[in-house]
Structure 1
């Protein structure tokens, strides 16, 4: 227990035979329950988990019958934790990459009413230099790209390190969100952020130390390839968030600003392309001042609507 709150820990596990034991052996006493969710792992990790459970009675192994992905494993843990009455649920990976001695940093903002969802951030200033020196460069570019896309998709413009899996969530948030629609594969942290915003929950970034063990396979994320794979999901969920939050839950005119920009910018770009084609391939016979001014107005108006929509969205996401 921590400050009179019942705390659980969820660990999604797949192919973690080598690293699950050091992860479990470093769980602090403030954690009352440990749910390890086996996502149909083909290795011998469950034998290791069950052996650890003999020494630590807090450990409970939950098994999937069908592989769902890390997001699906976390949701299974969330729902079990909420059903068992725990107030706050922590999530870490089974790859011993997250320092559980820092768990109080994740719990305090929820207990103090500052947030419903707290996530680690390896790029906060006091951790930035350490992170940049440890993080593989192949992952850094992907992290930066996917963070930029997620800021727009989620409406949380002040967050960073959106692929981060070290999180804490309140029981209220778990019980409120419809997890059946959540993304369950890699990319789930960004999906979860979008859902937090759509339901009006506050989030907070806290600094955390990254652990990279030499010679060990830990995260399976491959930077730029990962960013490209989850981009369609971000676009789809962004459009869903606008509809759910600003039309269904409570109307806000910023949604109209977004929709106007979605229309005006593509039409303006198409008009600009036709002007360029006329100029370069047909001698500019069809390029007139009125067409040029009309194209410029479309683009200027479209980008103004987009920027105002993003500004209002940023304010709503605080």
Structure 2
């Protein structure tokens, strides 16, 4: 328990036999329950998770026996590698079929929510996330500042240097797109998997329909905004070693783009349903209409150019239409950012 809140941690794992044991073993003592979800690994990940879960059960049994005998601290159950499990319960869960990163998180979220954990944390099994940073992630939630907290590896120059250039550029681009789609205009690093969420927020976002693949954090952010939840960005160091990314970028980029578009449209639809005169939603609609007009002008000008009949006036009108649509979009973004200013917290 952390500052009066029960803490459940989800550790999704797929072929992480080299790292998952270290992640489970170094979890802080205040964590009440770990949900280790094996997404049908083909290596020894599941066997390692089972060993740790068995050790955690022995530790719990020893604590109960010792507490019944006297008030001395119970001994910790030892692991095959000489480590110990210090009273935290580990729940081992295995998928019958591989469901993807989002699917593994979804399984853990549903289980932790139904178990009544006050705060549910997600930590990847690849060893990139330092469990000692967990209090920083939990503090905005237990102090009532946020309903959801996420790590941010882009908060300072040193952290950005640790990130490979290709990931840094991709992360920056996704950050801009996710800001527009989700309405959390102050956030960075939306793909960061080090997160914490309240039970109330989990219950409000229909977590059972979370996407299966790596686009799940972008989709979740949109759901949180629609539900009126506050999100905290917490500075976290980047850490890369010998782990390999499981993201297939040929699939990830188009799927995430479509997910963000759907999320944006869903958020605007909800805003219009709540307030038919919502200025941001209306601004975006006008921007789309003016952009469509600009494209139509450009196509007409292109046809005339082929026929050597493009007057200067048509070119000017086309440029003006594009400029007008850009201005309308920028104004709508500004209104949207102002309307959502209270939903973002920087730590």
Q: Quick one: which of 188, 191, 199 aligns to 2:216?
A: 188
Aligned to 1:206: 234
Q: How does 1:5-84 map to 2 (within 5 A)?
A: 5-57=5-57, 58-84=89-115
Aligned to 1:144: 172
Structure 2 distance, partners of 1:248, 1:11, is 37
Q: Contact between 1:21 and 1:49, CA under 8 Å: does it hold in 2?
A: yes
Unaligned runs of 5+ in 2: 58-88, 342-347
Give TM-score, length-normalised by structure 2: 0.83
Give TM-score, length-normalised by structure 1: 0.90
Structure 2 distance, partners of 1:256, 1:133, is 40
CA positional deviation for 1:170 = 0.6
Q: Contact between 2:46 and 2:94, CA under 8 Å: does it hold in 1?
A: no
Q: Contact between 1:106 and 1:119, CA under 8 Å: does it hold in 2?
A: yes
Aligned residues: 309
Aligned to 2:81: none
CA positional deviation for 1:30 = 1.3
CA positional deviation for 1:256 = 1.5
Q: Contact between 2:7 and 2:33, CA under 8 Å: does it hold in 1?
A: yes
Q: Quick one: which of 336, 339, 344 aligns to 1:313?
A: 336
Q: Contact between 1:143 and 1:223, CA under 8 Å: does it hold in 2?
A: no
CA positional deviation for 1:209 = 1.9
Matched position secondary structure for 1:56: helix
Change (3 A) 1:52 1:180: closer
Aligned to 2:122: 91
Unaligned runs of 5+ in 1: none
Aligned to 2:311: 287
Q: How does 1:200-239 map to 2 (within 5 A)?
A: 200-213=228-241, 216-221=242-247, 226-239=252-265
CA positional deviation for 1:277 = 3.8
Aligned to 1:303: 326
Aligned to 2:75: none
Across the aligned residues of Structure 1 and Structure 2, the Cα RMSD in angstroms comes to 2.0
Q: Contact between 1:116 and 1:169, CA under 8 Å: does it hold in 2?
A: yes
Matched position secondary structure for 1:220: coil
Q: In terms of Rg, which structure is larger?
A: 2
Change (3 A) 1:8 1:301: same
Structure 1 distance, partners of 2:275, 2:253, is 31
